[in-house]
Amino acid sequence: MTEFSLRDLERIVAARAGASPDESWTAKLVAAGPEKAARKFGEEALETVIAALGEDREALIAESADLLYHWLVLCHTRSVTLDEVLAELERRTAQSGLAEKAARDA
């Protein structure tokens, strides 16, 4: 199992956002603003759907990676952090009471 996490990628996105747009795709997207980042995210979402419906496992993995990366870039352009999204997911999980059950069953 890989040790790499979305937190690691979020840190990389934040660091590369300030680089030169000539040398960094992240910097280019961030400089273009949320509309461009949202459009790219939408394209990647569609490509992920196509990969899933096409039952192409390798394509689904690749498109999912593109999707998550572009989602982090999009959130960065709106100053939304991964931690805030995880906190929202945690709140929902706490409401359902399933976190304790998952921990017990683990």
Ligand X SMILES: N=c1c2ncn([C@@H]3O[C@H](COP(=O)(O)OP(=O)(O)OP(=O)(O)O)[C@@H](O)[C@H]3O)c2ncn1[C@@H]1O[C@H](COP(=O)(O)O)[C@@H](O)[C@H]1O
Min separation Cβ 86 and ligand X, Å: 19
DSSP assignment of the chain equals -----HHHHHHHHHHHHTS-TTT-HHHHHHHH-HHHHHHHHHHHHHHHHHHHHTT-HHHHHHHHHHHHHHHHHHHHHTT--HHHHHHHHHHHHHHHTHHHHHHHH-
24 binds ligand X (CB under 6 A): yes
Interface with ligand X (CB under 6 A), residue from 64, 66, 81, 85: 66
Of 15 and 91, the one with the shorter C-beta distance to ligand X is 15
49 binds ligand X (CB under 6 A): no
41 binds ligand X (CB under 6 A): no
- Which residues would be at the binding site for ligand X (CB under 6 A)? 12, 16, 24-27, 66, 69
